[in-house]
Amino acid sequence: MSNLVGKRVAIVSYRLGMADGVSVTASQWAAGFRRIGMRVRLVAGDGCPDVLVPGLALDAAKPPSRRSLDQALQDADVVVADNVCSLPVNQAAGEAVAEYLRGRQAILRHHDLPWERERFASVTTWPPDDPSWRHVTVNDMARLSLADRRSISATTVYHGFDEVPRPEARDAVRARLQVGAGPLVLQPTRAIARKNVDVGLALAESLGGTFWLTGPAEDGFADELARLLRRARVPVRRGLPPGADMAAAYAACDAVVLPSSWEGFGLPLIESALHRKPLAVGDFPVADELAAFGFRWFRAADPEPLRAWLADPDVSMLDHNEAVANKHFGLDALSTRLELLLSGAPVCHHSDTDKDAGGQIACDCLTA
């Protein structure tokens, strides 16, 4: 395995240092790289990166110049293009990054791919490719579709979490939210069409609780969200109260709901386990992929089992989910996978179902 201590890695994206999924998991990779001794720099067009390159922003009128990219990335031993060359939200910016990286050691990490979004379905030439690059997907479904649609070989590297629960914050946050009787149901997502806020509201109503949506309305969903909330028959809370973070939000809630119809990964699937909260899940493909590791979840569309659990909690379920999450999706696991990825060794993921008829682990490794 290569000695990576002291090597420089730059993670570049549209925006970093925010609460969106790419920002959160870019921070995970930064922590993983640092754990194996590498020096990390975050580069983005928006948010709170180490280096700000305005032409990379989602709404940038002009793409970044080669000079500005060179100033930010030139001394990096490896560059991680984190979703900036995946979903063409600002294709000009992504193309500028791709052209700059040609012939250089780079990792293109794909959270989302064009054919997964209706408005980008006509884009057939993305993601770009180069013999010097390694491609990484955040789930196996995307890895297979990338090979099928673009003949690009990729490695799946699941996210790695380093959550620090804050149970001591529970009472203070609930007091700020003025939560009444009944369970507090947390939906820790943005409000966009595929997040199915209506299903989260319906679950909270069925449980006789309070619905809490932490993220903002985006992608033109504000009017629809306002309509849904006007019709809600449960108390609703929005956003995080002053001084609270997501760890405090998980501490304050009684149950988590992720009712999405589509997710590239779905961070609450793992976060809820590490914060020891029951989770109600929607019907989306990656949830099935991750469930194979052995998680025990409830269905968002069927409130009765969750209602029964809340009335008589089975702590062993929380113990089990926490153990699965720590084993397969902890920061140690991610650090190992990143070191394997950069050294060219096989990267393995084993779920509890990955056994052959003789009970042996069936290794389906992918060479990075």
d(CA 269, CA 184): 18
Residue 21, token pair as written in the block? 């999924």
Length of the chain (residues) = 368
Q: Could you say which residues of the chain have pLDDT below 70?
A: 1-2, 345-368
Predicted pLDDT at 367: 30
pLDDT, residue 86, reads 94
Integer Cα distance of 139 and 167 in angstroms: 31
The Cα 198–Cα 231 span in angstroms is 10
What integer pLDDT is reported at residue 319 of this predicted model? 98
- Its sign, for the CA torsion 341, 343, 346, 347, is negative
Q: pLDDT tens for residues 22-63?
A: 999 999 999 999 999 999 999 999 999 999 998 999 999 999
The answer to whether 13 and 44 have CB atoms below 8 angstroms apart is yes
| Per-residue pLDDT, 264 | 85
Are the CB atoms for 279 and 169 separated by under 8 Å? no
